[in-house]
Amino acid sequence: MKTPFLLRSLFAVAVVAVFVWSMFPMTQTDFYDTFRSISKDADDPELVALIDDAKEKQKADIKEYPYPSKAIDAAANDKGGVELKKFLPENVIKNSKIKTNADVISMIRKRSAGALHLGIDLNGGAEFMLELTPVGEDAEKDFEKFRDNAIETIRKRLEAQNYLECEIAPAGGKLISVRVPTISDDEKAKLEQLILRSAKLEFRLAYPDYNELGRILNDIDVAHEAYNAENPGKLLTKEKFYTEVYRPAHANLADYDLLYTLEDNGKRNYDLISTKVEMTGSGVKNAMVGYTQFGQREIQLEFNGEGANQFGKITTANVGKRLGIVLDGQLYSAPNLNEPILGGRAQITGNFSEDEAKGVADALVSGSMPFDITVVSRADIDPTVGSDTIQKSIWSGIIGTILVMIFMIIYYRLAGMIANISLVVNAFVMLGAIAAFDVTLTLPGIAGIVLTIGMAVDANVLIYERIREELNNGKSLANAVNIGFSNAFSAIFDSNMTTLFVALILFWQGSGAIKSFAITLAIGIFTTLFTAVFLTRLLFDLMLKICGNRLKTLSMMQFCKNPKINFLGMKKITIGLSVVLVIGSLILIGVKNKDILGIDFTGGSQLLVSYEAKAENAQRIEVAKIEQYLKENGYNARASYKTTEEGTEQLEIVLRGEVDKDTGAKIIEDMDKAYPDVKFDIKAQNELGALIGAEFTKSAIIALVLAMIGMIIYMIIRFQFSYSIAANVALIHDVIISLGIYLAFGGQLTLQVVASLLTLIGYSVNDTIVTFDRQRENLTLMRGASYNDIVNTSINQTLGRTILTSTSVLLILISQLIWGGDGIKDFISVMLIGCIVGCYSSIFISPTITAYWHKRERNVSEADQTAENTNN
């Protein structure tokens, strides 16, 4: 016993330490300071001079060098291609697999970023306004279709890089808006490169005569220098000189572009590549980062059947020639074809950093876009909820958690204190895991974490109620603890595994916020299992070791002492009520139709407003107050502040639906009157598309359907087919009624509501399975009893647990609803309704369905019992 206890203790300490360590640093640090802090010598004169040069470049031309990473790279190139890795210790170079300057910059970027990534609602972010210029007639002709495809392509690329809480929407004309949660200046550089990559992969033959190529390139150099010397007022780059001057004068080069590969030090190696595209990247099935035999990074391509066949034909027909690999107009390599390549695979080699290689691979997999993409503007956006709302939400969560902890101590006393220790550890481990897995933390996410902590109480309640049963049966405390944990484990395991199955499918098939939710849900499951089962048991063992025989029992309160309620006897009333509520909710949804959709689903009109303080002491108006003012005046709107590249601050108001110019002007005129200390002025009015497009909705629906199918399969394996059907019917019942009641009180379907409904799925499944677990156990223990008796007994036995769990969750929800502010009101309102409906369905709906399903077995059981009594 002693050795396992010691090992378990060490394991628990190690897990907690790792995840708590993952939370730091909580905020981002300066790029240059980070570089110096990890260097061999922070005061190295060459390093200090290099950083000073980079800072000067940013001061001199912030538009050319908006990010420190870009400035330090340029400063290194100006000094003859300084290798940045020479400033780093050998262990850092080895552990981070650093080879190029891009690797160094990427590593510094990661280390300077904060561990916890906050969402746009909590900490603002960056906005890129992109203009899409169609390439080809199809994209021009059916622009909206290809634009929507481009939005999904960009979303997939961002998701592949762990940016899951992005907002991407059409912004009128040929513009789309891409908003990403708060990131450092240097992450913006990486992000911009990722977004702008069209992923147009082309295989084009290089100039055939290698010896003549050298002579031509030398001639171009000489001619270029001579031209610029003769035309000092019209200097041309080498590429432009070739295109505009040299190529038109040389007919033999009419079908060749002048492209170059880049060395790590910035040196360009020029080549002549045919303008004829032999093959595009449409046949690429998969792309991943790999290494050559010399340790150089490469992108390994795998073609689909058609692509492999086409690539084989091209390489067979051109053995002995060089094949240029061009991505987005950039030449990466032009290897010689020594033999046909028939295996359906190819490699792109080049001076890739780790991030760049992964970005290119992800872009190739997500697909190319038939557009030339340019960044029209960049802006920093403020948090979409005010600081007051954030503070209220956090404090309401703390208050709710404290209320739950007080409740646990009052009800379970010493055992409640142990549960509270587990809850606190659960919170820290969960935050550490969120940081470790780069999950973006949003305001609903924080509410969800607090709610998860409340739901984690359920596992403790299950264990404690089982321990109570064993103590009541006369077991010693040590035996009661052993049996209690053992008997409660199946219910805890099945409920969490079913929810985990849902999370995995949502992550697999979902996108954006759905993926983010799935990760958070999965993290919550593992942390709950670790703290509520493993850590709580460890603390109980510690308590028993310390107290020994002095502790004979555990003092606990008990609300429901051996209840014997005939729940199935109420089935006509409860089923009737559920049918009325479900049908009523569906009718309401049908009647309201698109009116139930919030701005996230419908898009709307964007007002970009400048504002000027009329008085010296005038303060900036909180966005929550502006939104409340607009709501009181009949407008469904959201507001936020953003700062443009020029440093000008603007107020952005997005109104649901189309709003004409006159209405926009009237809104601003009314705001001038409402806030006399500030002068508002409309700078632009645009139409914004929906944040949640058709593809997002489609993937979400597919994910939910597959999740339900997965639950059915799991519950068939662990329980019975009837149980799986009952659980899913109860789940659909809970979601429809919760949404219907919320909409009946004037709510609208938004991303927050979607997140809340997804959370409700996990909660509802958890509640139902606990009852089913007791039914499964009683089928063995109560042989000869009618099925109705077994179901009623099971509900009564778990009634105390159901009430306690619901009470703990309701304490948190009510505290957040009262003190949490408007920022999480939608999320909490739906969860509050769902919690009540879920509790009701786990008692009255799912057990009733299983009892009705097994009606035949019940009658047979009664007949057998009657026959047995007659014989006696």
HEC string of 615-674 equals: CCCCCCCCHHHHHHHHHHCCCCEEEEEEEECCCCEEEEEEEEECCCHHHHHHHHHHHHHH
> What is the model's pLDDT at position 447?
65
Report field, pTM of the whole predicted structure over 0.85: no
HEC readout, 700-712: HHHHHHHHHHHHH
d(CA 753, CA 760) in angstroms, rounded, equals 10
> What is the model's pLDDT at position 165?
77
Residue 297 near residue 357 (C-beta atoms within 8 A)? yes
CA angle 103, 190, 73 (to 5 degrees): 50
pLDDT of 836 > 60? The answer is yes
Phi, psi of 147 (to 5 degrees): -65, -45
> DSSP letter at 246?
I
Q: Which ranges of 367-476 does DSSP label H, i.e. alpha helix?
A: 387-412, 414-436, 443-472
Residue 386: which pLDDT band, with cuts at 50, 70 and 90? low
d(CA 112, CA 497) in angstroms, rounded, equals 37
> What is the model's pLDDT at position 665?
85
Q: Please report, as a single letter, which amino acid is at residue 792.
A: N
In terms of average pLDDT, the best of 166-180, 371-385, 577-591, 708-722 is 577-591
d(CA 179, CA 384) in angstroms, rounded, equals 12
- Express as a percent the part of the chain with pLDDT over 90: 25
The predicted model gives 534-552 an average pLDDT of 89
Phi, psi of 132 (to 5 degrees): -100, 115
The predicted model gives 709-736 an average pLDDT of 89
* Lowest mean per-residue pLDDT among 203-212, 349-358, 815-824: 349-358
The predicted model gives 254-278 an average pLDDT of 87
Q: Which ranges of 719-786 does DSSP label H, i.e. alpha helix?
A: 721-744, 751-781
Strand-pairing partners, residue 117, are: 440
Q: Where are the domains of the chain?
A: 29-112, 125-197, 202-210+251-368, 387-589+695-863, 604-688
> DSSP letter at 597?
B
Q: Please report, as a single letter, which amino acid is at residue 620.
A: R
- For the beta sheet containing 345-349, the strands, ordered from the edge strand earlier in sequence to the opposite edge, are 284-291, 297-303, 345-349
* pLDDT tens figures, 164-220: 778 888 887 888 988 888 666 667 777 887 787 766 888 999 999 888 999 999 999
* Lowest mean per-residue pLDDT among 317-331, 594-608, 613-627, 675-689: 613-627
> DSSP letter at 293?
T
* pLDDT tens figures, 27-38: 778 889 999 999
- What the block records as the tokens of 667 is 């809104």
d(CA 512, CA 176) in angstroms, rounded, equals 17
Coil, strand or helix: which one is 511?
A: coil
| CATH 3.30.70.100 corresponds to the domain 604-688 | yes
- Residue-by-residue DSSP string for 82-115: --GGGGS-HHHHHHTT--SHHHHHHHHHHHHS-S
Residue 729: which pLDDT band, with cuts at 50, 70 and 90? very high
* Lowest mean per-residue pLDDT among 240-244, 257-261, 281-285: 281-285
d(CA 189, CA 70) in angstroms, rounded, equals 8
Coil, strand or helix: which one is 785?
A: coil
528: which residues sit within 8 A by CB, 6+ positions away? 426, 452, 455, 456, 459, 496
Please provide the distance, in angstroms rounded to a whole number, between the alpha carbons at the two ends of the chain: 50
d(CA 162, CA 353) in angstroms, rounded, equals 18
pLDDT of 838 > 50? The answer is yes
* Lowest mean per-residue pLDDT among 157-161, 304-308, 310-314, 510-514: 510-514
* pLDDT tens figures, 40-96: 998 999 999 999 999 998 888 877 787 788 889 888 888 878 889 899 998 888 887
The predicted model gives 255-269 an average pLDDT of 83
d(CA 39, CA 36) in angstroms, rounded, equals 5
- Residue environment code for 406-428, b if the CB has 16+ CB neighbours within 10 A, otherwise e: ebbeebbeebbebbbebbebbbe
User: How many Å is the maximal CA-CA distance in the chain?
Assistant: 121
pLDDT of 242 > 60? The answer is yes
Q: Of residues 613 and 527, which shows the higher confidence score?
A: 527
CA angle 477, 480, 486 (to 5 degrees): 145
- What the block records as the tokens of 90 is 């050998």
* Lowest mean per-residue pLDDT among 62-66, 192-196, 528-532, 700-704: 62-66
In terms of average pLDDT, the best of 310-324, 429-443, 615-629 is 310-324
HEC readout, 317-370: HCCCCEEEEEECCEEEECCECCCCCCCCEEEEECCCCHHHHHHHHHHHHHCCCC
* pLDDT tens figures, 605-620: 888 888 887 766 666 7
Q: Is the dihedral of CA 55, 60, 66, 69 positive or negative?
A: negative
d(CA 527, CA 690) in angstroms, rounded, equals 35
| CATH 3.90.800.10 corresponds to the domain 202-210+251-368 | no
> What is the model's pLDDT at position 610?
85
218: which residues sit within 8 A by CB, 6+ positions away? none
> What is the model's pLDDT at position 266?
67
The predicted model gives 392-411 an average pLDDT of 86
The predicted model gives 710-734 an average pLDDT of 89
- Taken as a whole, the chain contains a residue count of 872
**Long-range CB contacts (< 8 A, 24+ apart) of 578-581?**
578/733, 578/737, 578/841, 578/844, 578/845, 581/737, 581/740, 581/741
The fold for domain 125-197 equals Alpha-Beta Plaits (3.30.70)
Q: Of residues 221 and 869, which shows the higher confidence score?
A: 221
The predicted model gives 569-579 an average pLDDT of 94
> What is the model's pLDDT at position 222?
94
C-beta neighbour count of 272 within 10 angstroms: 23
* pLDDT tens figures, 121-175: 777 788 888 888 888 788 888 888 888 888 888 888 887 777 777 888 888 788 8
> What is the model's pLDDT at position 318?
92
* pLDDT tens figures, 750-809: 878 887 888 788 778 877 888 898 898 898 888 878 888 999 999 999 898 888 888 888
Q: Of residues 41 and 514, which shows the higher confidence score?
A: 41
Backbone Cα Rg of the chain:
32
Strand pairing report for 297-303 and 345-349: antiparallel
pLDDT of 23 > 60? The answer is yes
CATH architecture of the domain with residue range 387-589+695-863 = Up-down Bundle (1.20)
Residue 859: which pLDDT band, with cuts at 50, 70 and 90? very low
Distance of CA 847 to the CA centre of its chain: 35
d(CA 846, CA 571) in angstroms, rounded, equals 11
What value does the mean pLDDT of the chain take? 84
pLDDT of 568 > 50? The answer is yes
Question: Do 125-197 and 604-688 have matching folds?
Answer: yes
* pLDDT tens figures, 427-449: 899 989 988 887 888 776 776 67
